[in-house]
Amino acid sequence: MDDVGLLSAARAERRTISAAHVQRSRARELWTAIVKHKFYYLMVLPGLLYFIIFHYLPMFGIIIAFKDIDPFAGFAGIFSAPWVGLKHFERFVDSVYFWNILRNTVLIRAYKLLFGFPAPIILALLINEIRMLRFKRVVQTISYLPHFISWVVVAGLAYAMLSPEVGLVNHALEAIGLGPIPFLRDERYFRSTIVGLNIWKAIGWGSIIYLAAITGIDPTLYEAAVMDGANRFQQARYITLPGISLVIVIQLIFAIGEMLNAGFEQILLLYSPVVYNVADIIDTYVYRTGLLSLQYSFAAAVGLFKSIVALALLLMANKVAHRLGYPGIW
């Protein structure tokens, strides 16, 4: 081998040794950081295990969407079941109910997005304007409480309050001459009713993140605005809202990604056959035809379909956020 070849070989060996040294150095630094901050990592561990056990490991079950499994064959049936390709996806799309349940799902979610998304922002702005600390805490506590009430309890309260026969709301409507309204039995009112109930339950809890973002705004901006003669409305419009715009955009991206999640538990507890035409959504349809009939492959296929659509919407919303000058979620 000539001198040039020896020199090249020596350089290659040095690069290999250098790369190995850098790798070992990074490993030592990582391990040192883990040991130094071990208690912080221990605090993160339960949440990490939760996502691994309940979100990542079950992803293996996606394969049943492409198989025709026997629900009584046990775990081994997942491997022995025959492959059927896109059969269950085609069955779902070709169903006579597909367009109706898709329309209901998108409409209900769109109504919740249109009316429910701004509600926590408005509540946070209003709470931020309260100057009496004790009254402010009372308002926050009252607005947070519905979040901790189960949808089962909320459904029971809704039936009791909105019943055309004995409901308090309909008694009040009759007193002013509007007559009883079957809120949960009439297609004209059902969607509005569930959207209103969802806003009532989620508005207080949703406002927490916006209140936290408001506390991070520099107070000197408000002082300067007061000196310039800005009133409270102008301060909220030109300082508070721009100050929390990044949080609003991130929350909106996540909300768009959930466009096919119209609220399974809420609708399952409140709907009935008389309002199926406007209330039946993808999740309730899958619950009836997929799970109650033990058609797990079909249910998995629809779930995978929803996940793919959600991912596409999330990527699109994040891209639009970048185009508008916001960093998005990544």
pLDDT digits (tens, 9 = 90+) for 296-306: 899 889 988 99
Which pLDDT band holds residue 111 (cuts at 50, 70, 90)?
very high
- pLDDT at position 115: 94
pLDDT of res. 201:
94
Name the phi and psi angles at 328, rounded to 5. Answer: 70, -160
* Alpha-carbon dihedral angle through residues 73, 76, 82, 83, given to the nearest 10 degrees: 130
For the question of whether the overall pTM of this predicted structure is more than 0.75, the answer is yes
For residues 279 and 288, the answer to whether their CB atoms sit within 8 Å is no
CA angle 193, 103, 94 (to 5 degrees): 140
| Residue 64 contacts residue 300 (beta carbons within 8 Å) | yes
So where are the chain's domains?
3-66, 97-323
- What is the model's pLDDT at position 20? 64
The confidence score (pLDDT) of residue 18 equals 62
CA distances from 306 to 163, 167, 274, 320 (A): 34, 37, 26, 21
Token pair 């350089």 is found at 11
Measured distance CA(299)–CA(302) in Å, rounded: 5
pLDDT at 3 over 60: no
Cα distance between the two ends of the chain: 51
Find, among 158, 154, 138, 134, the residue nearest to 146 by Cα: 154
What pLDDT score does 104 carry?
94
Mean pLDDT throughout 59-73?
A: 86
Q: How high is the pLDDT of residue 171?
A: 87
Domain 97-323 part of CATH 1.10.3720.10: yes
Angle between helices 87-94 and 296-323 (to 10 degrees): 80
Please check the confidence at residue 2 and state whether its pLDDT lies above 60. Answer: no
Dump pLDDT digits (tens) for 252-269: 999 999 999 988 999 999
C-alpha distances out from residue 177 to 168, 172, 174, 180, 186, Å: 14, 9, 5, 9, 19
| pLDDT for the residue numbered 7 | 53
pLDDT by residue (tens digit) across 226-235?
898 888 889 9
